[in-house]
Amino acid sequence: MENRWDDTLEFDDPVEECVYGSRLIGSDPDLVLHGGGNTSVKAIWRDYTGEDVDALYVKGSGWDLAHLEAPGLTPLPLARLHDLLELDALADPDMVAALSAARLNPSSPQPSIETLLHARIPYRAVQHSHADVIVNLTNLENGSEVVEEAFGPDIFIVPYVMPGFDLAKKVAQSWSDETDENTVGMVLMNHGLFTFGDTTREAYARHIDLITRAERFLEQRAPLLSPPPKSLGDIDPIVIADLRHDISRAAGSPMILTRHRGEVVSRFVSRPDLESLAGRGPLTPDHIIRTKRVPMVGRDVDSYVGAYTGYFADNRAEADEELTMLDPAPRVVLDPELGMLTAGRSIKEATISADIYHHSIPVMERAEDHLGGYRALDEANLFDVEYWDLEQAKLRRGGSPPPMSGQVAVVTGAASGIGRACVSELLDRGAAVVGVDVSEKVPSVFDNPAFLGVEADVTDQTAMTEGLRMGVERFGGVDLAVLAAGVFGSSSPVAELDPVEWRRIQEVNVESAVTMLRLLHPLLVRSPAAPAVTMIASKNVPAPGKGAAAYSTSKAALTQLSRVTALEWADHGIRVNMVHPDAVFDTGLWTPELLAERAEKYGMSVDEYKRRNLLSTEVTSETVAGVVVELLSDRFSATTGAQIPIDGGSERVI
């Protein structure tokens, strides 16, 4: 592994040096994934009285090593931490309370659960990771022997103990007997690697050196397999939507389901021992809150739920307190045809599960095929971590999810105007969005992992079918839809209508909607949420204007189509509503020149023209989007077939 320390840098402040070293480790996914690992440095804290206090600065909970800043290192008095280590026992809640109270800066984050272990290690700087190659050596039938063979006497091997007071106490009691001046690191079985030194630079260099030695050992003893030449092929989106529905039902809320089918995944799911190997548990106990103890192999969600319920019942009796079962839905699915799918209440959660399992696959394969067999921590210890209140706190820190978390929306016309505003509103409310537009800019309109931009013409049925397939592979299904794509066309009296222009407007504004509704229906009926559609019609439906026959007729037809759809789809619980915007001037239809021309025609300023309605208010794309998305929400769960004007009040409409 490359040592990425920049030798030209000099640090006068050991805390800043710790921040730099932490980021180096945290930015490498082979070492640390999604909040794992921690670091510390022992340095002076200048008290408010001017007194110098020997302190431990340790990574605070909620901070990711890759983006750590100095405020993310919590200072605590070393003397107090050593006093706590003198106790014979200390319950986890009491330890957390004691550490919280000991913070020298009350605004600092809660210190790491492994704070006492950092305090006990008699070196100024400590770095800890969950490196893939280290757990590859520890998760074996004879893991301790293999670790010793790989590193020799340079490291201290610690049998698995749950992080916290007990682990710190065990290391404290055995440190003198197990280490000497040549010890540069500590391997915690089924957990990870600690290195230490007089400076963060030294601790980091030792970390990289031990990782490199582990890599070389594995390259000789356990070479990585070559992936197969081809990845898995396309799958019927309905299969994925059905699976998402079942997983969401088990979870008790809508879930995002993302498909992965790269070469490494393809190789893994084709193994004849897939169920056995995948069923042995995660690489480290920390992963269990993201992946569950085991993935689901195949598609039988009911069987998986039954097995999880049994696992909970078998282990809850040993708990010291009453426990409530977490949702029993799988977070990782392995299937020979589908590949790997990961589930979460957001795309972020699903991605975290995927990242963890992508790193798990080669570790398990190497261990199983070359090192005598993969063995994870036993079920009872894993259960203790899964239901450990301190581990659950990591999930609770995220707070309540946004109201549309886990739901998937499709928006046409997503690159500009009302469509783009609807995408923004949906993302703000926690939904994942498949945005479709003919513009080549649509893939990059939003820099958000919950957004998939698909460049496609809504009048091209083949392109729309492919776009929905891509959306289902990315997010698992469809719950909501906003059909906003449309064109106004050129103004023309009826007597002078161009038949080609007439057909173009009908094709974009009406016929494409028919196609979309037909393609969406089988996905919407499989929605685990409350499926709904909002159609963007126009004020021209109730109050048409001269010269807009083609546009007005198309929107009237769209409205009638929506009403009939609302009648037919109500049996499936799918709501269909319409909005009639007017005078939305921040769309592509309106240029500054056109606005100025229209305002002058009415003898008004541009601002006055924009507010030419009963409420004297400006109607923006965001105004429309707020109503559109609200119609999709649960607040309108009893409303379908409605038509809502968004025009500031029009005498002609009223």
pLDDT beneath 50: ranges in the chain: none
pLDDT value for 443:
97
What is the layout of strands, in order, in the sheet containing 480-483?
451-455, 432-437, 408-412, 480-483, 532-536, 575-581, 643-646
Cβ neighbours around 124 below 10 Å, total: 19
pTM reported for the whole predicted model? 0.93
Q: Kindly report, residue by residue over 321-362, the tens digit of the pLDDT.
A: 888 999 999 999 999 999 999 999 999 999 999 999 999 999
Residues whose CB is less than 8 angstroms from the CB of residue 31 and which lie 6 or more positions away in sequence, other chains included = 25, 37, 129, 130, 131, 132, 211
pLDDT value for 66:
95
- Going by the DSSP 8-state scheme, the letter that residue 184 receives in this structure is -
Q: How far apart are CA 508 and CA 488, in angstroms?
A: 10
pLDDT value for 489:
84
Q: Kindly report, residue by residue over 508-553, the tens digit of the pLDDT.
A: 999 999 999 999 999 999 999 999 999 999 999 999 988 889 999 9
Q: How far apart are CA 650 and CA 180, in angstroms?
A: 85
How far from each other are the two terminal CA atoms of the chain, in whole angstroms?
A: 71
Report CA Rg, the chain: 30
Which phi-psi region, left, alpha or beta, contains residue 356 (left: φ > 0; alpha: ψ -120 to 50)? alpha
pLDDT value for 34:
83
pLDDT value for 394:
61
Parallel, antiparallel or unpaired: strands 125-129 and 408-412: unpaired
Cβ neighbours around 362 below 10 Å, total: 19
Q: Kindly report, residue by residue over 74-130, the tens digit of the pLDDT.
A: 999 999 999 999 999 999 899 999 999 999 999 999 999 999 999 999 999 999 999
pLDDT value for 319:
82
Residues whose CB is less than 8 angstroms from the CB of residue 466 and which lie 6 or more positions away in sequence, other chains included = 456
pLDDT value for 590:
79
CB 510 within 8 A of CB 557: yes
- Strand ranges inside 47-189, DSSP E: 52-59, 73-77, 125-129, 155-158, 185-188
The string of DSSP codes covering 252-321 is TS--EEEEE--HHHHHHHT-TTHHHHHTT--SSGGGHHHH-SSPEESS-HHHHHHHHHHHHHHHHTT-SS
pLDDT value for 122:
96
pLDDT value for 391:
66
- Going by the DSSP 8-state scheme, the letter that residue 453 receives in this structure is E
pLDDT value for 595:
85
Residues whose CB is less than 8 angstroms from the CB of residue 264 and which lie 6 or more positions away in sequence, other chains included = 227, 358, 361, 362
Q: Kindly report, residue by residue over 128-140, the tens digit of the pLDDT.
A: 999 999 999 999 9
Record: fold of 14-221: L-fuculose-1-phosphate Aldolase (3.40.225)
Cβ burial of 409 (10 Å; 0-12, 13-18, 19+) is buried
Q: How far apart are CA 245 and CA 71, in angstroms?
A: 42
Parallel, antiparallel or unpaired: strands 125-129 and 155-158: unpaired
Tell me the CA distances in angstroms from 38 to 44, 60, 394, 525, one per residue in order.
20, 8, 14, 46
pLDDT value for 393:
67
Record: fold of 237-396: L-fuculose-1-phosphate Aldolase (3.40.225)
pLDDT value for 22:
97
For the chain, the average pLDDT equals 94
Is there a shared CATH topology between the 14-221 domain and the 237-396 domain? yes
Q: How far apart are CA 256 and CA 451, in angstroms?
A: 12
Q: Where do the structural domains in the chain lie, given as residue ranges?
A: 14-221, 237-396, 408-584+619-646, 586-617
Tell me the CA distances in angstroms from 632 to 410, 418, 578, one per residue in order.
12, 15, 11
pLDDT value for 515:
97
CB 637 within 8 A of CB 530: yes
pLDDT value for 33:
85
pLDDT value for 146:
96
Which CATH superfamily groups domain 408-584+619-646?
A: NAD(P)-binding Rossmann-like Domain (3.40.50.720)
Q: State the helix-helix crossing angle for 389-396 and 92-102, rounded to 10 degrees.
A: 60
The string of DSSP codes covering 420-449 is HHHHHHHHHTT-EEEEEESSTTGGGS---T
CB 558 within 8 A of CB 565: no
> Which residue(s) pair with 436 in the sheet?
412, 454
